[in-house]
Amino acid sequence: MTIRFTMDKITRDGNPVLRQIAQPVPFPLSEEHAQLAKDMMTYLVISQDATQNESYDLRPGVGLAAPQVGYSLQIAAVLVPSLDPHESDDEPYFKGTIFNPTIISESVKRGALDVGEGCLSVDEDVPGFVPRANHVTVRYQDEQGTVKTIKLRDYPAIVFQHEIDHLHGHLYYDHIDLKAPWQVDDDTKYIE
């Protein structure tokens, strides 16, 4: 596997591309866009490999959106490992590159990771809960342009919302209540 995107290619907070509304991707996919999507997934695969990520000095990631590699396009690579920690060699929970994704429904129930969130594009961690919808239904296109719908809850739902946020120019800390970052809310599920 050859790696095109290393940490020096990841756009950082302050780069205007991270605050732009990303453009829809036309289908059939151009060769350039297909390659971009593959290269984004390669980053995630290698970043999650304990030995390889060291040699490339990659911060581990479960998602990477095109604006994070400098392209204002509605593409995000998602690689959520198996949710069962005893079966780490198992198939990932979700591995795919999603194009033109939209959240078509979301729960009233909120969800937030109990440790807060991080982002490859934000070097200095901003602490605090990042409240989102606990359940979402996402519609997207795959590489072939086929429209897919996926229902997600808890951790995977958070990951998809974080990535889709990138396509709308939002960063995770936009959702943090900076006056009371760890304020617990009864209607929110805190996800381990």
Q: What is the smallest separation between the CB atom of 19 and Zn ion, expressed in angstroms? A: 13
- Residue in the block written with tokens 């936009």: 174
Catalytic residue among 31, 54, 143, 163: 163
With contacts defined by CB under 5 A, name the span among 5-13, 45-53, 84-92, 115-123 that binds Zn ion. Answer: 115-123
Is 31 in the active site? Answer: no
With contacts defined by CB under 5 A, name the span among 36-44, 116-124, 126-134, 140-148 that binds Zn ion. Answer: 116-124
Q: What is the smallest separation between the CB atom of 69 and Zn ion, expressed in angstroms? A: 12
Q: How many CB atoms lie within 10 A of CB 122?
A: 16
Q: Which residues pair with 139 in a beta bridge?
A: 102, 149
Determine the residue with CB nearest Zn ion.
Answer: 119
Sheet holding 135-141, edge to edge: 63-65, 75-80, 94-106, 135-141, 147-153
Backbone angles phi, psi at 88, to 5 degrees: -70, -20
Q: Examine residue 119 and tell whether it contacts Zn ion (CB under 5 A).
A: yes
Q: What is the smallest separation between the CB atom of 152 and Zn ion, expressed in angstroms? A: 17
- Note whether 160 and 123 are within 8 A (CB): no
Tell me the number of residues near Zn ion by CB under 5 A. Answer: 1
Nearer to Zn ion, 29 or 37 (CB): 37
Q: What is the smallest separation between the CB atom of 166 and Zn ion, expressed in angstroms? A: 6
∠ CA 137-154-126, nearest 5°, is 110
User: CA quadruple 19, 125, 127, 68: dihedral positive or negative?
Assistant: positive
Q: 148 in helix, strand or coil?
A: strand
Q: What token pair was written down for 173?
A: 């800390």
Nearer to Zn ion, 119 or 126 (CB): 119
Residues 136-165 touching Zn ion, rule: CB under 5 A, are none
With contacts defined by CB under 5 A, name the span among 44-52, 90-98, 118-126, 148-156 that binds Zn ion. Answer: 118-126
Q: Contact positions toward Zn ion, by CB under 5 A?
A: 119
Residues forming the active site = 163
